[in-house]
Chain A
Amino acid sequence: MPRVILCIMAMTMAAPALACPICDTATGQQVRSGIVDSHFAFNVVATLLPFPILIAIAAFIHFGGGGGRRSIP
């Protein structure tokens, strides 16, 4: 029975840990080199590009555009 439990634990817990970006394994190395590759800067910009635009829209609403300040009858 303990062997079965150990086997299940090894199957369910060890496999995911082998592939993480900070894992010292072949797959971990592959993941690291896939993240920090020649496209790294592009990928950072591509992932984050919508956010400056969203912030600019929010700033426009907060500080400028629209008619938010009206008197109540």
Chain B
Amino acid sequence: MTEITASPRTPPSPRTLRPLVSAGVVLGMGMGGFLDGILFHQLLQTHNMLSARRPKDSIANIEINMFWDGLFHSATWLLTAAGIAMLWHALRRDDVRHCGASFIGATLAGWGIFNLVEGVIDHFLLNIHHVVERLGQSVWDWAYLASGVVLIGVGIALIRPGPRRIATRSDRLIHDQE
């Protein structure tokens, strides 16, 4: 009686990039949020979460803005944690292509999506803050949106897999066995 076993050379089909890309996008969104908070809210201090509604002209207002910055950072932390979990699951799947360039591209695209969505909502629709608060709505807010578009474009270009960049977990196992 012949025992039927799965051949290690049998590749799972069809192969997909999507879980890796979605994990990268979510991670990019979270890290983009952190970059915004760290660079503009903390290091450069050009704005805070509600600095258009609560100008940073007193200790109390600075502290109040810091509270809302904290709520914003809590949400970006959750996004980043979700991205790590998604990446973990993607890397454990046999049918997911492992492509570094696509992952980096997805992360850049996620960062760009964050800049675009956050910029449109907070800087233009709600007007709760602007990139350089003392200028109000300015060219910097448009530059922020433009950075989002550029990052999405670069990200999409990198996500497209080239033949040399493609490998699944199964491919690497086969390669290791050889």
- Residue numbers of A with Cβ under 8 A of B are 19-21, 27, 30-31, 34-35, 39, 43-44, 46-51, 53-55, 57-58, 61-62, 66, 68-73
Contacts and interface: CB of A to CB of B under 8 A. Distances in A.
A12 to B, nearest CB: 15
A49 B118 CA distance: 9
Interface residues of B, number: 41
Interface stretch (B39-47, B63-71, B135-143): B63-71
Contact of B18 (A34, A44, A66): A66
Nearest to A20: B63
A27 B58 CA distance: 10
B17 A58 contact: no
A43 to B, nearest CB: 6
B79 interface: yes
B152 to A, nearest CB: 11
Interface in B106-142: 110, 113-114, 117-118, 121-122, 126, 128
Contact of A54 (B14, B53, B67, B79): B79
B22 A19 contact: no
Interface of A is mostly: helix
Nearest to B49: A47
23 contacts: A19-B60, A19-B62, A35-B68, A43-B68, A46-B128, A47-B72, A49-B121, A49-B122, A50-B118, A54-B117, A55-B79, A57-B113, A57-B117, A61-B18, A61-B22, A61-B25, A62-B86, A68-B21, A69-B14, A69-B15, A71-B13, A72-B15, A73-B163
A7 B59 CA distance: 21
A35 B67 contact: yes
A19 B63 contact: yes
B16 A68 contact: yes
